Structure 1
Amino acid sequence: MPKALTVTHRRSFTPRLALLAATLLLAFGAALSQADSSAADVAPTDVDERADTPLEGEALERRLITIDSSGGTQSGNLRFGPIVYEHPERDGIVATVSTLTIRAPRAELRAPDEVLLSQAQGRREADFDGGIVVTRGRLTATGERLAYSEATGLGVLSGSATVVIAPAIEGEDEVVITAEQVVFDVDTDISVSEGSVLLVNGDQTAEAERLLFEEARDLGQLTSEDGRALVTRQGDEGPLTIEADEIRVLTDLKALYAVGDVVVVDGPITSRGDVVFYDDDEEVAEVLGAPALAVDESAGVRLETDRIRQDVRFRFVEAIDATVPTTYSADQFALTGE
């Protein structure tokens, strides 16, 4: 049994190195501060507040829904609603709201009680069922039902909800998301998947209870209110796992940012830190902590320092010198509005 080796790094700091180290510490602090910032500021979660906000001008136009049932039937009260739209084809009814398109075989449009549909713009609700297809940009989603509210600008897709986001560059991996429900915000390009969320992107999978995804930026934020977020990468030498309180992914760059008691496990090597950046193309994790810790059980190595490089391809760890700049920064993973 090899004897454990404890590696302690002591460096003499020149003024230039001290300044660089201070800069890195500030960046580290900013990363932790950003992690503490609630995504509720940019996520469609405060439904009551949105519903109570009066709509006018562009905001009103953006949330108005139009329903085309050409070739199908309409029934119900055409003045006060509800109006029921039915079509023999599964995608025969086509509804549009902002950049979102909804296809279904059945829909129902309602207004508040005793209010004319024509005078209820901004307060109407529409339900779709019988198998739904939602499209927006590179995104296609399917589910059993969708409920949309003009007052909130949110469409909730439920029933075996699946989202597929095509890559921005042909030949790259698509993103596939499954969840109990997906909430689409028509004011932005944000979707929020909730309940047993699974994201698959190439050889990487991510699990959490909630995923906020900015579609244009291919940026996802994974959290679990009562648990942890987990990313698993399948490799030739076995899986790499990264577990943390919060994980953000840039799926187009194959990059990851994890914060909050982060644990990286790659075979016999386990690293722990407060912040981790992972570059899948380079197969390298940078572990930051005060201090960070890496243990290689097979080699009997224990490394404890502020910055650790964990090389997944060649399975080794080493200290990162203070003069070496970081590949990524927390700002690259910041959500819109943070």
Structure 2
Amino acid sequence: MKSLLITFLLLGSQLVAADGQRFDLSMRASEIDPRAKAHPEIKFSFTDDKGKPADLQHAVVDTRVPSQGKLVIWLMGHNQGLFERISSYGYHGIQPHYSNGWFAGITKAQYEDGSGTVLGNIRLEASTGEDHSPLVNIPKPDGMMERSLQFVKWLVKANPEGKWQQFITDDGMGLRWEKVIMSGISHGSTTSARFAMHQKVDRVVMFSGPRDNTETWQGGPSATPSNRFFGFTHILDGGWAADHYCRSWQLLKMHNHGPIVNIDSAKPPYGNTRRLITNIDVKNNAGRAHTIVVPGGKDVVGQWVYDEVFRYLFTHPVDQSGPAVPMDADCEMDQGQRK
């Protein structure tokens, strides 16, 4: 029997209503597109070490909520809390499986070629499936763009109630990127930013990132304007403590839209800024600080946190911007080739 997995998580009366429901769907990328391939050379496969599927992709839409015509593409492992929240805003969401397992294979010498674009170019190739880096060979069917397109095409047929066709161009050759919100955490937030600099999107929501602190691509020309980038991190995250995130935020010119705001002592709309931080209690655990900022994160007593922040990051009107402020002198911008 073909291992087709279409999962509808029907959580009692919470999801079932006369005028719709939330649909949570899953399907393997290798079963959607026969062109999809594994790439063991970059530690990217369709199964994990135990033989379980590793290429399962996830999607969500809540037909009880008026559609806002926006598609969130999440570039990290599936996060049910995030998907429940974005669907409650009237957004569609997908989490594509694409060739992103290249990071550990890059050598120190390759990092330090002096261009400032080594990782950025690999991220761009992983995103587009186009030739942007000599260090990897990621064909179009295995890049994020094509994997996302084929997934949405599958969803058009598998979930007609969701009206996924609105995100596909008339010629069927691509997604309507002006309707897309790129988002991710850590590695995923960094790749989201790099892709958005290449391809204009509706907005970018970056959790615990972007990083690539030895590179300069974050300061290059961007197809997506700076007012459409939003960031959120915990200040005990190692990437924040080492000035990796604040550096990227300033290279992305996010300081042109307001100061850094600590949401622990502020309320929406946070001065219409694009740079949010928190110091919620994580028992001084830097690893927990890195992950708690994503939708679905829970505090030390198991309670959901930051619902207002998540809504702001994903829905705040991009034309409402805070005042430009000087770059933070305490954020080290020149990090050379140090890791």
> Is the TM value for this pair above 0.5?
no
TM-score by length of 1: 0.27
| Structure with the largest fraction of helix | 2
TM-score by length of 2: 0.27
| Structure with the largest fraction of strand | 1
